[in-house]
Structure 1
């Protein structure tokens, strides 16, 4: 650690070593002070500058009062100089002392106290924790070199530049202190300078996050550097500062997927309080307003490049946007981006968890919104592959169907979200429906019939049909229909193979129609009888086929 280091007029600065040490600090002493104060005494909320001459200036900052000397303060501050020596007889006085009120001083009374110490030539430390507010206060009071060489603006400017360029951690400390003086920090380019310094170090110095670590940790980090080493520090920033940093990093040509990952890291950290309802320090309306603004900022700053952000993150962001009621155009932006990614997604990409015991485990409403957006664009997208999305949706349905809290309306809406011709086969859809019925055994016959409305006999494989006819969870009407259609199908096969089976295809169809008209098939016993009939037809068909094979063999023998 170096002591007594001189930096552009700063006195007695200390600098940390690369491998550790104290935080950077600098002891500031003003030169050529017109009035020296023996002491600065505090009595409750009043400050008194004790010197050989009586005080003649009272400065009120907030609820505190400073009893000072005009010459000491006005000689360093152009702003106070104008207030002290402006003309007018109606100014407020207490005895021989002029009263001045300072409103909107950056940092308030805490930093005006440091300004007073500087003007009276008393030593004080400036560090990363106070440099930004003090720098802003110096600009507010116009403490420039025009009045005195080595004035407070030049001293704080030099040390601020030194801290930003030399220390990764102190740059973040400076940004943190600017939150309470945000307009001034932005106007004086403090936020921009810190953001550009962070971007420069993040893009050029992979080991910058290892400062203040021992040699062993430093060496280990050097051997395991990855693109996201800076994510955690950046994720501690407030949204406006985070936006500035990301913009600076983007201007340096960082990969879009790295920027997208950083945005996702920040969002998951800050928005856990929204989804979990843990943010109790701030009143709810204010909290929701801040998160709404944050969400809109995040959507606007997302990289537009393909695969720069994950589908799952976009769905979580969409969920947050719906909760917070962000701008509808931004919601459409998110829905469109996810819809364009659906054909390359997997089932885990669609899983967005809900919070609370009364809700379903996964939020299906966000997925449903994206599916409807996707379907709306099918007519204008000739390269779309809806059968791939249908397979994805059926897999998603299978995953969420096990949830007892998933409502029938939500499940049915997902089943019907895609057009009928999007599925080549209904096997996976049938599996999802069967799982849902198993998890919801108390559904009425009418509800079960409604859920199964999308299932079609000719779109199921032979194995799936057999399972349907033996599945007691399905509505009786559907099971009956499948058994009848299976009979028709078997009869068609029999007649096409030249069987002498007495029931022709036309007779079978006539019987089916007659049974349906008379509504005679209405109980499980009849279904079981029909199942046996189907099994008997199968065995007869096998016999016919074996006879056919024997006849073909005998015919070959006769020919030869």
Structure 2
């Protein structure tokens, strides 16, 4: 029988031996041009030594009907294949060698040999195709079964040494065609290798698919502009793309997000090796994480497969951290915080957590409040996870001495704005809020007005806090670090602890007294200078009695005010002592 091999077709009823076949090539950078079905191939082996009249399936048994009796039973999984030795050994060196050893070692004179094959790539479904191939029946090869069939052909050693046009060469030809011509089929092939991972890696299928994807992605990076806002925040849904070029990038990310972690890492490694923009790589990694870590990081869409175990999540997180591009602005601060949150929950390698903390701390000065918002989903949990931000701020403080003053001030403004944003949350605990308030030293802020505003909003959202808890939260407020407007607000704020308002009133009175005393001394010095001037030039000047009376009246009024101020001071001191007791 002649060797018959058809190129990819789309008609399920295609027959063997056509001279011309319609081939539907796919656009390497998108879906199929015509929109029809995926590529497939129909093959038939040449020079078949035995043709089966039929191959019947009875429950879990496959039985080949031919002009001779069955003399071989091969068990694959839970299925038994009743076959003929001649048909199978003519195509497989592995079966030839196995049957020969069985004949040498067999003790009984039974003509039927029983062979069990373990760990065959693709299992019984793939072996069904191999049986049909060996008996001369046509088999359909698609992007979904080509990888298992290719690996199984290598497992059974179906090479050209036995017969020209054997299964290895035929599957290799079609596999190369799919990988080189079709973007979608390349992904289908890669997905099909998940159940045969070790064989697929050994036979370079994963590497070839990854390199093909990387080549096609890099070939297009200059053809379309990249939307840098595609995955700006993981807890905010992606905005719609505005043009077809941006939609390509979204579609590309979507395809890569379907890959499992080891294949995704392989693809990203190939993409980075080809020099694609680091911002595109970082955003692609963020999109993959959004897809697969939804049940770990609160705020993601809930699409994580149930079979993704805790250990797999831990390994996946560590792998993602290791492949992150190191270039500035390649990944967003918000994504790094989500990764840090995942890592802390899964208890990954502490060194990797430290790497993330330092990376976020190094870009805090350029961050915005929205970058620090990492949502929680628990009903009784705070709206935002402040613990992950606290970790980064503690890391920033440790290396703060090497940062310029302007950078520290910018971080202080950022933290104050973040405090104002989260202080409204009624579920935010006093301990968490106080830790955030106290994490930065005073020298990062030129003024504490925004800090006071955040504290006031927190007390407003938590009206049932005990007096000592309110005092604990407010202990960072200092009179001299607030503006005059803020001081006045403090003295009239009923939400603040009484001890604080009393202290501020007392300090305000002392300040007023010192100011008045200073003004009085200046007046007396001026008055004395005037008297001396009058004595030296009495002849030239004459002071009326009315002016003298007005000066005496001003002095008496000043004495009265000072006496009232001292009295008020004594009363406030007594009131403060009673509060303390």
TM range (shorter): 0.7 to 0.9
C-alpha deviation, 1:81, in angstroms: 1.0
Judged with a 3 Å threshold, the aligned counterparts in structure 2 of structure 1 residues 505 and 351 are, in CA distance, closer, same or farther, namely farther
**Which SS does the other structure have where 2:432 is aligned?**
helix
Judged with a 3 Å threshold, the aligned counterparts in structure 2 of structure 1 residues 49 and 518 are, in CA distance, closer, same or farther, namely closer
Counterpart in the other structure of 1:502? 559
- 1:125 partnered with 2:149: no
Counterpart in the other structure of 1:422? 444
> Is contact 2:5–2:44 with CA below 8 Å preserved after alignment?
no
Q: Structure 2 CA distance, aligned partners of 1:273 and 1:239?
A: 16
Q: Structure 2 CA distance, aligned partners of 1:374 and 1:318?
A: 15
Q: Structure 1 CA distance, aligned partners of 2:35 and 2:302?
A: 36
Judged with a 3 Å threshold, the aligned counterparts in structure 2 of structure 1 residues 506 and 372 are, in CA distance, closer, same or farther, namely farther
**Which SS does the other structure have where 1:41 is aligned?**
strand
Q: Structure 2 CA distance, aligned partners of 1:143 and 1:93?
A: 30
- 1:282 partnered with 2:306: yes
Q: Structure 2 CA distance, aligned partners of 1:388 and 1:93?
A: 88
Cα offsets for 1:390-430 (capped at 9, x unmatched): 11111100000000000000000000001122211000000
- 1:112 partnered with 2:127: yes
C-alpha deviation, 1:447, in angstroms: 0.7
> Is contact 2:121–2:155 with CA below 8 Å preserved after alignment?
yes
Counterpart in the other structure of 1:86? 101
> Is contact 1:378–1:384 with CA below 8 Å preserved after alignment?
no
Cα offsets for 1:78-97 (capped at 9, x unmatched): 11111011266544879311
Once the two structures are superposed, the pairs formed by residues 55-66 of structure 1 within 5 Å of their partners are 55-66=70-81
Once the two structures are superposed, the pairs formed by residues 135-534 of structure 1 within 5 Å of their partners are 135-205=150-220, 227-275=249-297, 282=306, 287-381=309-403, 385-498=407-520, 500=555, 501-502=558-559, 512=569, 515-516=572-573, 519=576, 522=579
Q: Structure 1 CA distance, aligned partners of 2:106 and 2:60?
A: 23
Counterpart in the other structure of 1:20? 35
**Which SS does the other structure have where 1:230 is aligned?**
helix
Cα offsets for 1:124-182 (capped at 9, x unmatched): 10011110100010011111111110000000000001011111111111111111111
> Is contact 1:40–1:49 with CA below 8 Å preserved after alignment?
yes
C-alpha deviation, 1:296, in angstroms: 0.8
Judged with a 3 Å threshold, the aligned counterparts in structure 2 of structure 1 residues 229 and 87 are, in CA distance, closer, same or farther, namely closer
With normalisation by structure 2, the TM-score equals 0.82
RMSD: 2.8
Judged with a 3 Å threshold, the aligned counterparts in structure 2 of structure 1 residues 281 and 242 are, in CA distance, closer, same or farther, namely closer
> Is contact 2:159–2:166 with CA below 8 Å preserved after alignment?
yes
Counterpart in the other structure of 1:548? none
**Which SS does the other structure have where 1:406 is aligned?**
coil
C-alpha deviation, 1:495, in angstroms: 2.0
Q: Structure 2 CA distance, aligned partners of 1:11 and 1:482?
A: 98
Q: Structure 2 CA distance, aligned partners of 1:182 and 1:92?
A: 38
> Is contact 1:15–1:25 with CA below 8 Å preserved after alignment?
no
Judged with a 3 Å threshold, the aligned counterparts in structure 2 of structure 1 residues 14 and 70 are, in CA distance, closer, same or farther, namely farther
Q: Structure 2 CA distance, aligned partners of 1:342 and 1:518?
A: 45
Q: How many pairs does the alignment contain?
A: 507
**Which SS does the other structure have where 2:270 is aligned?**
helix
| Segment of structure 1 superposing worse, 149-158 or 184-193 | 184-193
C-alpha deviation, 1:386, in angstroms: 1.9
> Is contact 2:294–2:304 with CA below 8 Å preserved after alignment?
no
Q: Structure 2 CA distance, aligned partners of 1:476 and 1:94?
A: 103
**Which SS does the other structure have where 2:377 is aligned?**
coil
Judged with a 3 Å threshold, the aligned counterparts in structure 2 of structure 1 residues 72 and 513 are, in CA distance, closer, same or farther, namely farther
> Is contact 1:402–1:439 with CA below 8 Å preserved after alignment?
yes
C-alpha deviation, 1:379, in angstroms: 3.0
> Is contact 1:131–1:160 with CA below 8 Å preserved after alignment?
yes
Counterpart in the other structure of 2:539? none
Judged with a 3 Å threshold, the aligned counterparts in structure 2 of structure 1 residues 279 and 260 are, in CA distance, closer, same or farther, namely closer
> Is contact 2:126–2:148 with CA below 8 Å preserved after alignment?
yes
C-alpha deviation, 1:347, in angstroms: 0.7
**Which SS does the other structure have where 1:86 is aligned?**
helix
C-alpha deviation, 1:22, in angstroms: 2.5
Counterpart in the other structure of 1:538? none
**40, 51, 57: which one aligns with 2:55:** 40
Q: Structure 2 CA distance, aligned partners of 1:25 and 1:396?
A: 56
Judged with a 3 Å threshold, the aligned counterparts in structure 2 of structure 1 residues 341 and 152 are, in CA distance, closer, same or farther, namely same
Judged with a 3 Å threshold, the aligned counterparts in structure 2 of structure 1 residues 125 and 503 are, in CA distance, closer, same or farther, namely farther
Q: Structure 2 CA distance, aligned partners of 1:506 and 1:4?
A: 113
**Which SS does the other structure have where 1:183 is aligned?**
helix
Judged with a 3 Å threshold, the aligned counterparts in structure 2 of structure 1 residues 92 and 207 are, in CA distance, closer, same or farther, namely farther
> Is contact 1:319–1:366 with CA below 8 Å preserved after alignment?
yes
**Which SS does the other structure have where 2:67 is aligned?**
coil
Judged with a 3 Å threshold, the aligned counterparts in structure 2 of structure 1 residues 168 and 280 are, in CA distance, closer, same or farther, namely closer
Cα offsets for 1:171-196 (capped at 9, x unmatched): 11111111111111111111111111
Q: Structure 2 CA distance, aligned partners of 1:166 and 1:491?
A: 88
Judged with a 3 Å threshold, the aligned counterparts in structure 2 of structure 1 residues 91 and 392 are, in CA distance, closer, same or farther, namely farther
Q: Structure 1 CA distance, aligned partners of 2:295 and 2:499?
A: 49
Counterpart in the other structure of 1:100? 115
**Which SS does the other structure have where 1:274 is aligned?**
coil
**Which SS does the other structure have where 1:47 is aligned?**
strand
**27, 43, 66: which one aligns with 1:51:** 66
**Which SS does the other structure have where 1:58 is aligned?**
strand
Judged with a 3 Å threshold, the aligned counterparts in structure 2 of structure 1 residues 89 and 257 are, in CA distance, closer, same or farther, namely same
